Amino acid sequence: MFGDLFEEDYSSVSNNHYGKGKKLKTKTLEPPAPREFTNLSGIRNQGGTCYLNSLLQTLHFTPEFREALFSLGREELGSLEDKDKPDAKVRVIPLQLQRLFAQLLLLDQEAASTAGLTDSFGWTSDEEMRQHDVQELNRILFSALETSLVGTSGHDLINRLYHGTIVNQIVCKECKNVSEKQEDFLDLTVAVKNVSGLEDALWNMYVEEEVFDYDNLYHCGTCDRLVKAAKSAKLRKLPPFLTISLLRFNFDFVKCERYKETSCYTFPLQINLKPFCEQSELDDLEYMYDLFSVIIHKGGCYGGHYHVYIKDVDHLGNWQFQEDKSNPDVNLEDIQNEEEVDDPLMILKAILLQEESNLIHIDQLGQKLLKKIGMSWNKKYRKQYGPLRKFLQLHSQIFLLSSDESTVSLLKDCSLQAEYDIRRNYQQLFKTLTSESPGLNDRSSCPHWFDINDSKVQPIKEKDIEQQFQGKESAYMLFYRKSQLQRPPEARANPRYRVPCHLLNEMDAANIELQIKRAECDSTNNNFELHLHLGPHYHFFSGALHPVVSQTESMWDLTFDKRKTLGDLRQTIFQLLEFWEGDMVLSVAKFVPAGLHVYQTLDGDHLTLCEVEITDGEDIFVWNGVEVGGIQIPTGSDCEPLLLNVLHLATSNEGKECQQLIESPHVFPSNAEIGSVFTALAIPDGVILVNKTESLSEENWTTIPKEDLKKTFGEQGLRNGSSILIQDSNDGNSLLTKQGKWITSMNEIDWLQVKNLCQLGSEEEQVKISATLNTVVFDIQIKAIKELKLMKELVPDHYTLKEAELKMGSSLGLCPGKAPTSSQLFLFFALGSDIQPGTEMEIIVEETISVRDCLKMMLEKSGLSGDTWHLRKMDWCYEAGEPLCEEDATLKELMICSGDTLLLIEGKLPPLGFLKVPIWWYQPRGPFHHWKSHQEQTNGIFPQGGVWRADSTQGAPSDTHAEVSLHYLGDIEISEDATLGELKSQAMTLPSFSEFSIPSPAFLRAWTVESKRPSRLLRVHQQQLKEYKLGKRTEICLEPLQKEENLGPQDVLLRTQMRLPGKRAYALPSDLVWDTAQGWTAGSLRQRVADFYSLPVEKIEIAKYFPEKFAWLPVSSWIQQITKRKKKKKQDNLQGAPYYLKDGDTIGIKNLLVEDDGDFSTVRDDIGKEKQKEFALGRKKSQEALRVQSRDVFSDAEVLARPHGPEASLSIHVRSFR
């Protein structure tokens, strides 16, 4: 029932703030979205009203009920405008139902609101959020309607349409006396347990007899003694509409708990009730009923979600599948032929034929296959045909794979033949279907079924109903209508049929208003701001464009519709610039430190601004495309001007260099040669040193060799702010200074430091060896051996320092042994991921060796055996990186280089395309404490050895909870194509999971695990795992929920805690879902928190908790005063500094009505901070040790489980009209 708590009305926030002038735009409140392609309207979920929505849609698609309600005029029901008048007798419930049905029929919006109807029920917001049973609602709503319609012509509406009678009879075997009792019903309740289907249940109820004999005799009033008798029940009167409630929820008296019956329970599309009726002499048509609505419950007995399958009797909706619309000629959805669906060749050919170039990425081919047949390749075909890529390889006469096997296409001749075969098969199948079933080709003759799931309406096929026979998601209520009930022709596809005039006028006016609002909103959302820079107002000097007068006069701001074309923009600018003469060229420009630079010219006047990739706040340079002020303008990113700092010695009056160093800015194009610096400064020759950093210290300078002076600034990696030092080539003294002292010789940095790693007892440990970039490594070795007095001869290397990519000033080590050749790799390797210094081993292997052979060599050298090992490469954080999955690939192909460290990790890798995911049980301390394992209930803790305990990043330390526990459940192997829901289902099959009682995967919340803590929330149940980009090392923890959860893409899950007045502590945490569609602003969050706790927004203060610092940061919502001279401040965004708000963060709330101090901290925060100071003052320890110690502060915290609230009864309040 709570499954779609927050699924409605997602709107997006533009996060485009790249470049100068880009602003964070928050969308204004948009009008409701128009109806989708089905042309039917859903109903918005108010929080927990999916059960109400399903029943209302059923009543709405019961035309006889809807029209009978419409027939009641204002003279009988009153007017909603008078409902608040004390003496007015306004029948609010039927009036609100009339308005809702009119909106569902006529109002052009994706989903209608039931707020007015639930208000007429007398429901509060708590009632709208509370889960209830739809069968109970059906009876209560009918009772409320009967009470509301007393004294009107519709007083018998419910009785007329839904009322039937049952007769219970007891027949005496002696005197044949019949004792009978009649019962009325509005719906029939039938058993599900131990029953195969509806007809079986009706047979047991209304055909079979119960015999009274032996010890269970019946007292006959006529015979006045105990006699044998037979008891039976029959349907005496059948209503036009038969409602059947399935008893899926039962009670287990052994376990003393409720459970849902999920066994298979069939029901027919058409049923003959003649065998179950008392009178059977009428024609069979009198007893025939057609199924027209199935209310479905998904979940368990303590929660879930409702949606409904409905037959559109009047054909009001567009029963056309979206795939049909896109390609009516060749489409798999038009063909429900099991033989063709079972043939993967036919399916793959059809998919490739629909591609313009017949070329598609293999991953995309798998996704399109999933959309076409509703199942992935692995589920449908892998067991019989193997992996998809292998299948394509085996059919090389049809499919052509690229060299890297990443894309596939149809062979040219096969493409034509395949298209012919597919069209021929389609035509043959079409002829077969039409010959067997006349009229099937007419869509209007097919039963139109729709799946209405709150706001969403999707067409379905009649056979899809069979999927609801069994399982966690299965039929819960059935609605049948008499087959003899015929609809008038004028009602067909006519939503205005029998709708009262005043409601027609009201809906027409509302549609006009919606159109106006949508047009205004559409215009607002599609307009963006362009900055026009006019060429005549600029001049070119110092390598860039600069305003002639001022930036304000040279730039015009233009608001323009991004859906319009580039030609429209050009025409608009022409009209604005009446003075313009000649050609007009529009180019994208950008401000760089040197000034304004023109990058690319915009071409294609028929293209929209989005298609030419113009963004909001773009700078557009308007000119003639050739010159500005008579100077030809260089354009493009390759000649982007660079603002560089040039340092050189000043020249005296006599033309000699003096010791004064001059630093001046100069602009050079990126594609200019570095040697052009001499020309720009009028220096004949010299040595150039460059510094690409902001620091001018000695070690950051590198010399440019003469042969590299022909290279460009861009090729040398220089950027804005880099420095260039010009040194006279004949001067032996360096211009570089360090701590105010001159360095006497540039050659002082032309050396290498060589360390003695041979451990041969030499007195010298390291020496400096002079060298140049062209010095051969062999010479370095010989010099080092002499300096270090090492007599052992080493094999010489033939690389130069340049070829070995060594920089001057580097440190080398002399090691015994043969050096690797140019085709070999020198690698380190170690066991496990926790590497201690000095435990690495070394190995030299050929770069063409496979990962499998390299693993064997490392295992042999380590003295290990077995096939349960794999290799991982150590990443830059000195941690185990991604595994080397492709065992047949060479080290060279995987870009393994000399000096890399590989880690031998125990455990076999999963097959390609599969993930091996460790699963953890995440047990928050607090409101979810009722999900306990049997062992936890007895011991109070998780089994030792399988638990991580760490400071909770989700919960603040309070009197109620202070840590999170992660209990290891086991590993699962799962395909990357599987969904998150399938991962949860597979995790529930782990043996360790049997400790916990979870109704269904929908009652689990999934997080990724990082640093032994929950990190990222995985929110979409049906999303494939590969779309989350989890990686090979991902671990998942599962958190139990009290109810189903379906978070939207812009919903943020926060843990909120109310501060206890007078105490430095907090109450139990509560999960709060914050919709960020209107922006990540402090004001929006404060308003959401205030609404959640029913407090005035000005009477609360909130703060985010940083557990690693034991600190609270208040979230303020001040608004900067805006004046005409000041630009508007960018809107605050809690995603950025200093809050970095994300899912799972803890928010503390303070009620200023009872406590107005600014302190959010707790006693445990003080203890934690004190402990941190002790660690800092004592000795330096790792962060992990700090976490362990700070965890010990809270190890004694215990939490009492929040008591389970009693179930609330459902009621609808109706005024008396008797």
**Which residues are known to be catalytic?**
50, 305
Describe the crossing of helices 50-60 and 134-148 by its angle, rounded to 10 degrees: 60
Comparing C-alpha atoms, which of 299, 647, 624, 333 is closest to residue 461?
333
Helix axes 92-106, 134-148, angle to 10 degrees: 120
Reference 796, options 771, 773, 821, 761; nearest CA is 821
Burial, 147: exposed, middle or buried (Cβ in 10 Å; 0-12, 13-18, 19+)?
middle
C-alpha closest to that of 70 among 103, 99, 109: 99
The dihedral over CA atoms of 451, 457, 462, 466, expressed in degrees to the nearest 10, equals -20
Cβ-contact 629, 708 below 8 angstroms: no
Tell me the C-alpha distance between 874 and 1054, whole Å.
35
CA separation, residue 947 to residues 906, 919, 950, 966 (Å):
21, 12, 10, 5
Please list the residues that pair with 272 across neighbouring strands. 288
Strand extents, DSSP E, 469-625: 473-482, 527-534, 538-541, 544-547, 555-561, 585-592, 595-601, 619-623
**Could you give the CA distance from residue 781 to residue 763 in angstroms, rounded to a whole number?**
17
Write phi, then psi, for 660 (nearest 5 degrees).
Answer: -90, 125
**In terms of DSSP H, where are the helices of 1015-1099?**
1082-1093
Cis peptide before 94 (omega within 30 of 0): no
Of 48, 10, 258, nearest in space to 1044 by CA: 48
Contact 428, 435 (CB under 8 A): no
Query: Within its chain, how far is the Cα of 1096 from the centroid?
Result: 33
Amino acid at 975: S
For 436, phi then psi, to 5°, come to -75, -35
Side-chain half-sphere exposure of 805, counting CA atoms within 13 A? 1
Helix 92-106 / helix 501-526 crossing angle, nearest 10 deg: 50
Write down the residue that tokens 């735009």 correspond to.
25
Instruction: Tell me how far apart the alpha carbons of residues 58 and 142 are, in angstroms, rounded to a whole number.
Output: 13
Cα(273)–Cα(271) distance, integer angstroms: 6
Q: Which two tokens stand for residue 783?
A: 């010099």
Please, what's the b/e burial string for 604-633 (b: 16 or more CB within 10 A of its CB; e: otherwise)?
eeeebbeebebebbbbbbbbebeebeeeeb
Helix, strand, coil percent content, the chain, rounded in steps of 5: 25, 30, 45
**278: Cβ–Cβ under 8 A, 6 or more apart, which residues?**
167, 234, 235, 236
- Residue 1152 CA from chain centroid, whole number: 37
For residues 338-355, one letter each, b for 16 or more C-beta atoms within 10 angstroms of the residue's C-beta and e for the rest, the string is eebbeebebbbbbbbbbe
CA–CA separation, 481 and 515 (whole Å): 38
Task: In whole angstroms, give the CA distance from residue 119 to residue 113.
Answer: 11
Bridge partners, 177 (sequence order) = none
Within 10 Å of residue 974's Cβ, how many Cβ atoms?
19
Contact between residue 851 and residue 925 where contact means Cβ atoms under 8 Å apart: no
